[in-house]
Structure 1
Amino acid sequence: MQNPQDIFQQQKLIRHDNLLWLLVAQGVVILPLLMQLPMWLWVIWGGSLYWRWKIYAGQRQFPGSISKLAISIAAIAGLLLTYQGAFGVEAMVGFLVFTFIIKLLELRSRKDGLLIIFIGFIAVAAQFLFIQSIWATLYAAVSCMVLITAWKTIYATRELAVKHKLTSGSILLLQAIPLMLVMFVVMPRLGPLWHTPLLNQQAQTGFSETLSPGDIGSLVQSTGTAFRVTFLDDSTPRQSELYWRGLILENFDGRTWTRPRHPHFTDIAPIAKQGDVETVNYEVLMEAHRYPWLFSLANPIKANTGAVRSRITSNGLLVAREPLNTRLQYQVASVNPRDTLIHELSSQQREQLTTLPEGFNPKAVALAKTWRNTLGSPDAIIAKALAFYHQDFYYTLSPPLLGENSVDDFLFSSKQGFCEHFASSFTVLMRAADIPARVVVGYQGGRYDASENYWSIRQADAHAWTEVWLTGIGWQRVDPTSAVAPQRVEQGIDNALQAADRSRIAAGQFSAPQWLTHLRYRFDAANYLWSRWVLSYDAQQQNQLLKQLFGGKEPWRVGLIFLAIISSLMGCYIALVIRPKWQARSPLQKSLSQFDKTCQQWKLQRADHETLAQFCLRLGTKQPQLLEACQRLGALSQAALYDPKEDNQQQLMTALKRFPKE
């Protein structure tokens, strides 16, 4: 006879055929993390799976303490070398994944399996450190479903069908969703885990603090999204007015434009008090880009950037105090593009904004001075310059290389360029004509999604233009690109490129059919809504929602409402799920109920303590004409009781239904 202690120990072990579920659950959970971590972790995972399989096949023993210590030291050394000793988020997640993997090598009992499941749930949360889209959330839900299924499986004592296991895990996950939604709404909002900056995050806007010929042209081939905008009122500007300002470049060395070293900041309130002006209100959902500038329309007068501290510069730019390391949702009120705010220039500012480096681009300087001497009026000079561009210039992604005097080469030789060529050369002409001018870098236009009422601004919408200062008017936007390719401003970059440029871009990108492009737009809309209403749900939005729903945000009020909602959910669960299960009857029970009604016609009723065979014996004695039917029914009941095969139960149900009636 087997020792009871051995039996107890065996009951604590996981069935061999259920170990596969733990391996599958681990693979599903760590796959997104392995894609973000060093490649050598893949090797450790593969080696652990191979070793685990050998243990399963009885060809290798479990690793000893020395082996596990050596593997751990090697992994820690690898993390230190990979991240150069920086104990950041990636290194900690890498160590978490390593412990998750190495636990496979000592997996024996249900306790070990339970620990793997718990580490798996932590790993699911760690996925959101790297990506927070709605698709990542759906994948995390699938990961949780697989983990729950594996959790139930490790306690299984007999073989179950795969469909049964998955269904059971899915039902448990679905039952938890109502409670999760309630807790999401009412629980205090803490800083999101994904706000932690990562070492491997790279700038995504493509903009640096300088601008040279060709810088923006390279961005057109990017399919990434820079930010999305929703206008909050009916004053949505036309597409030709959507100039999203990010950087102002004032210093020029003959080829490259740079921003001022010490930009001046001013509080929002003083600018907002400058007269009664019509405003445009909009909300921006901006992707992380590791730079401090935030994009907005011209002349922002009010901004709400939440927990991110920001200022409005004297040049009308919205700038954060620190680099933007995470997606940010902010609201801005800007002066209507049809209106302007008058700003005065000091003599020092005017001198700086009309200065050009000596010895560079002599032809362009001479031409502008000729215009100044013959035309005089700044308006006439600007019109003359735009007419000059309208003649023989071409808008192209692949202009020829320019020499040291890049503006002269562009204006008088190549006459082919992208927006940065036109903006840079136009600004040089204006300064040479003694008109204060500067280069502005940002985005122009965007793609409008009518179904969700938002604008998607891509990296391909990057643009550069010029702002000139006119006496009595202030800063005026002038886009020389519109004189060469007006469709760039009116219809977007996709309609402005020549056929050769479009072919060049298409050659480097996947050419998707129309239906797939439409589907991608729908995915983008879903991801935008997810980011706007879920990922950006912070303490401020929670307070507003609680006030709207419950009339206040006091802890006692929220606590009472939370208890009421939870009680209601539990009541619905009991009424709709648990109670029907209590009252549910099997087909055999239904057949017995029908048999009992039939027996009432024979003036006999089966007692609660009486088995079916006992009752059939009593019924056959009282009603001799039913003796044969009762004997057969009693035999079938015994067969179904002691040999519960499906055929025996089916024959018993058939006999119960066909039992003779009076």
Structure 2
Amino acid sequence: MHTPQDIFQQQQLIRHDNLLWLLIAQGVVILPLLFQLPLWLWLIWGGALYWRYQIFKGKRPFPNSISKFLISALAIVGLFLNYQGAYGVEAMVGFLVFTFIIKLLELRSRKDGLLIICIGFIAVAAQFLFVQSIWATLYAAFSCVVLITAWKTIYVTRELPVKQKLTGGGLLLLQAIPLMLVMFVVMPRLGPLWHTPLLNQQAQTGFSETLSPGDIGSLVQSTGTAFRVTFLDETTPRQSELYWRGLILDTFDGRTWARQSHLQFAGAPVPNGASQSTVNYEILIEPHRYPWLFSLAEPIKSDTGSVRSRITSEGLLITREPLTTRLQYQVSSIRPRETVYKALSKQQRQQLTALPIGFNPKTVALAESWRQASDSAEEIINKALAFYHQDFHYTLSPPLLGENSVDDFLFSSKQGFCEHFASSFTVLMRAADIPARVVVGYQGGRYDASENYWSIRQADAHAWTEVWLAGIGWLRVDPTSAVAPQRVEQGIDNALQADDRNRVAAGQFSAPQWLTNLRHRFDAANYLWSRWVLSYDAQQQSQLLKQLFGGKEPWRIGLIFLLFLGSLMGAYIVFVIRPKWQARTPLQQALKTFDNTCQQWQVQRENSETIAQFCLRLRGVQPQLDTACERLARLSQAALYDQQQDNQKQLVSALKQFPKE
């Protein structure tokens, strides 16, 4: 005979079909995390599922304490070795996923199931450490629906359709959305969880402090987005004027350009004339783990929010720390066709005309001949640009260059990408005693008219030259435009041959038009999500609260929050709870029909009587209803204690079909 304690413990056990929902919920939640973590966690998950299946079949017991200790110790050692002893976010998430998986092996009661659900919600939050796009958010919402469904399921003692279970979980999440939105708007912004840098986070722009032939050619094959730009003025620059400066390289060793960090250029930007105008724009940049940001020349003012930054004397926008999170910032730059003047000291001029001795003798000789035969630096520049018109080809797959890389390019191969043209042109200028430097960044972009923003992709990576002219200052010269003008005017996808175009951005430019349009819509949705949701910081919150409520004082926010909660609860009672009170279930409707039928037999069912009790009394009054009453009592008992949906359907049918007088 079972004691009450035994019966209670039996009721706390999870049904086998409900256990399946917990397994499904776990799989949905950890799937995106497993792609970011060590591969051996997949094996642990598969092994745990197999062990759990063997437990279900009765072929294996639950693991004992020693087994769980050994498995945990091996996992900790594996995480330690995998991340080389660094206690970063990935290691913590890896251990969270491991505990989430291993909990399956000791899952028995509802209490264990509730613990798994709680860990699952933490794992959903951990998904945003790696991806914060709108699609990741939609997947996280789906994960929450599955978790809530599994949460409800572990307390259900009868079988329900899958659609009904998922619908219930989805409705609970929808009911929480209004409160979530209010809390998102008014709660203090303490910084999002994903601002924590990751160990395996790689640079997404691909720009380092050096540039060699082939570097940008490799970068443009990436499918990623570097940043997105919204112009805040009515008139915006043309695509050919969109040169997004990121890094200046001023030292050349014969093959590779590098940045000489200790060289400082004195003097702030000085407007060359009194009629200077500015272009104002907002940039949403992806993390790239370098300290430089991108802007048009010349930036004169910037607002990077809580991220400390400054504009250098070279006209570059840099941050104090490497950029490890998405950042939204505003910049004001001088209009591209207007100039600023900066004087050069003797040391600076020597640095910006220096070339390694003994390298590229043909190039040096050509530039020297131009210098001797020219009256001005402008004339030398024009000769160099005219030189590039002679049988040079713009290609993503040029031949390899030798030790004298510039000589090989200018006089032998005559095939190259933008870094080949920028590097060789800068060497020509320096050999002609004209200060010059290489600038790397992006050129152009894709304009989205529906959302009014420019998307600058990795495929838009570019390199060009800046030369210094007396009385003018730094002047941008893009030798690539002399060979492939459509690269600057129309974008890289219109400047390459078909074979090269298939390699740029993983062949996205060769995709069908409908797929390209769909990709652009996805990008626009992601941009809006990043700009208005992910970039919602304390500064934007302060501005929004002032606009909505007239201030951001705590008492004001608290009062409005309470009023909203009261309105929300009132609406919930009126539109959700009250209709449910008034609505009748199929069983209630059938009971009403049954009571009306019994009144014809001159018998009234009391409110305190169950169907079985009333049928017993009805049989004594009307013996001819003995069979119908016996069947009805049996169905009511089955529906009450077995709680099967079929029993309830049969009971409803029997109540409606009860014999009439």
Common topology (TM > 0.5): yes
How far does residue 654 in structure 1 lie from its aligned partner after superposition? 6.9
Partner of 1:50 in structure 2? 50
Does the 8 Å CA contact 2:594/2:658 hold for their aligned counterparts? no
* 2:221–2:503 contact (8 Å) kept in structure 1: no
Matched, 1:299 2:264: no
Question: Which deviates the most, 527-536 or 507-516?
Answer: 507-516
- Give 1:330-341 correspondences, 5 Å limit: 330-341=329-340
Mapped to 2, the partners of 1:173 and 1:421 lie a distance apart of 56
Q: Distance in 2 between matches of 1:636 and 1:103?
A: 51
Q: Displacement, 1:632? A: 9.3
Alignment deviations for residues 42-87 of structure 1 (CA, whole Å, 9 cap, x no partner)? 1111111111111111111111111111111111111111111111
Structure 1 residues 599, 412: CA separation in 2 closer, same or farther (over 3 Å shift)?
A: same
Shift of 1:312: 0.8
Confirm or deny that 1:643 pairs with 2:635: yes
1:489 aligns with: 488
Q: What is the deviation of 1:643?
A: 3.0
In the TM superposition, residue 611 of structure 1 has moved relative to its aligned partner by: 8.4
The Cα shift of 1:277 comes to: 2.4
In the aligned structure 1, how far is the partner of 2:128 from the partner of 2:407? 51
Give me the whole-angstrom Cα distance separating, in 2, the residues matched to 1:267 and 1:188.
41
Per the alignment, do residues 649 and 55 of structure 1 end up closer, same or farther by CA in structure 2, a change over 3 Å counting?
closer
Which residue identity does 2:380 align to in structure 1? I
TM-score for the superposition, normalised by structure 1: 0.90
Q: Which amino acid aligns with 1:437?
A: A
- Report how far residue 591 of structure 1 moved: 7.7
8 Å contact kept, 1:271–1:301:
no
Query: 1:267, 1:507 → 2: CA distance?
Result: 43
SS of structure 2 residue aligned to 1:339: coil
Distance (whole Å) between structure 2 residues aligned to residue 287 and residue 265 of structure 1: 29
8 Å CA contact 1:637, 1:652 repeated in 2:
no
Would you say the 8 A contact 2:458–2:505 is kept in 1? no
534 and 267 in structure 1: CA distance in 2 versus 1, 3 angstrom threshold: farther
- Residue 320 (str. 1) matches residue 319 (str. 2): yes
Over residues 294-353 of structure 1, what are the superposed CA-to-partner deviations in whole Å (9 max), with x where a residue is unaligned?
A: 011111111111121111110000011111111111111111112112222222212221
Change (3 A) 1:610 1:96: closer
Q: Secondary structure at the match of 2:204?
A: coil
Q: Give the structure 1 partner of residue 282 of structure 2.
A: 283
Per-residue Cα deviation, 1:469-509 (whole angstroms, up to 9, x for no partner): 12222111111110110000000000001233225559877
Cα deviation 1:528-564 (Å, max 9, x = unaligned): 1111111111111111111111111111111111111
What's the counterpart of residue 15 of structure 2? 15
Pairwise CA RMSD of aligned residues? 3.2
Residues 1:425 and 2:424 aligned together: yes
1:349 aligns with 2:339: no
Deviations 1:256-291 (A, max 9, x none): 1111222548999x8799966211111111111111
1:267 and 1:572 map into 2 onto residues whose CA distance is 64
Corresponding position: 1:498 with 2:497: yes
CA contact (8 A) 1:272 1:302 kept: no
TM-score when scaled to structure 2? 0.91
How far did residue 598 of structure 1 move? 12
What's the CA shift string for 1:573-614, capped at 9, x where partnerless?
1111111001112457568879999999x9x99898698999
**1:477 match:** 476
Q: Provide the rounded CA distance (Å) in 1 between the counterparts of 2:5 and 2:96.
A: 35
Report matched runs for 1:34-113 at 5 Å: 34-113=34-113
SS at 1:570 equivalent? helix
The percentage of counterpart residues that share the same residue type is: 77
The alpha-carbon distance between structure 1 residues 275 and 564, as it changes in their structure 2 partners (threshold 3 A), is: farther
Q: Which runs of 5+ in 1 are unaligned?
A: 617-626
Cα distance change of structure 1 residues 359 and 155 upon mapping to structure 2, 3 Å threshold: same
- Alignment CA distance shift 1:52-1:575 (3 Å): same
TM-aligned CA distance change 1:471 to 1:554, over 3 Å: same
With over 3 angstroms needed to count, the CA separation of the structure-2 counterparts of 1:206 and 1:116, relative to structure 1, is same
Distance 1:537 1:641, change over 3 A: farther
Structure 2 residue identity aligned to 1:21: W
Quote the residue 1:199 is aligned against: 199
Distance, in Å, in 1 between the alignment partners of 2:344 and 2:610 is: 104
Verify: 1:556 aligned to 2:565, yes or no: no
Q: Per the alignment, in what secondary structure is the counterpart of residue 311 of structure 2?
A: strand
The residue number in structure 1 matching 2:641 is: none
* TM-superposed deviation, 1:636: 6.9
Measured in 1, the distance between the counterparts of 2:509 and 2:496 equals 18
CA distance in 2, matches of 1:483, 1:194: 44
Partner Cα separation in structure 1 for residue 482 and residue 222 of structure 2: 25
2:595 & 2:7 partners in 1: Cα distance?
45
| 8 Å Cα contact 2:399-2:415 kept in structure 1 | yes
Distance 1:151 1:267 in 2: 65
Partner of 2:618: none
CA shift at 1:123, angstroms?
Answer: 0.8
Distance 2:28 2:218 in 1: 37
Q: AA paired with 2:404? A: N
C-alpha separation between the residues in 1 aligned to 2:26 and 2:509? 33
Whole-angstrom distance in 1 between the partners of 2:70 and 2:434: 71
- The one-letter amino acid paired with 2:323 is L
The 10-residue stretch of structure 1 (336-345 or 456-465) with the greater mean CA deviation from structure 2: 336-345
1:518-557 to structure 2, matched below 5 A, reads: 518-557=517-556
| Shift in CA distance, 648/160, structure 1 to aligned 2, threshold 3 Å | closer
CA distance in 1, matches of 2:598, 2:18: 48
Distance 2:145 2:337 in 1: 54
Equivalent residue for 2:412? 413
Whether the 8 Å CA contact 2:223–2:506 is kept in 1: the answer is no
Amino acid at match of 2:66: I
How many angstroms does 1:639 deviate by? 6.0
Query: 1:231-630 to 2 correspondence within 5 Å?
Result: 231-264=231-264, 277-503=276-502, 505=504, 512-586=511-585
1:354 positional shift: 1.7
Matched letter for residue 188 of structure 1:
P
In the alignment, is the contact (CA less than 8 A) between 1:45 and 1:101 conserved in 2? Answer: yes
Q: Which amino acid aligns with 1:413?
A: S
Please report how far the alpha carbon of residue 35 of structure 1 lies from its aligned counterpart in structure 2 after TM superposition. Answer: 0.9
In the aligned structure 1, how far is the partner of 2:179 from the partner of 2:252? 59
Aligned AA for 2:461?
A
The change in CA–CA distance for 1:266 and 1:160 in structure 2 (over 3 A counts) is: farther
Cα deviation for residue 635 of structure 1 reads 9.1
Shift of 1:411: 1.5
Give me the whole-angstrom Cα distance separating, in 1, the residues matched to 2:607 and 2:122.
53
Q: CA deviation at 1:236?
A: 1.2
Q: Matched residues in 1 for 2:416 and 2:430: separation?
A: 20
Distance 1:597 1:160 in 2: 31
| Alignment partners' CA distance in 2, 1:172 and 1:442 | 48
In the aligned structure 2, how far is the partner of 1:458 from the partner of 1:287? 11
1:220 is displaced (CA, Å) by 2.1
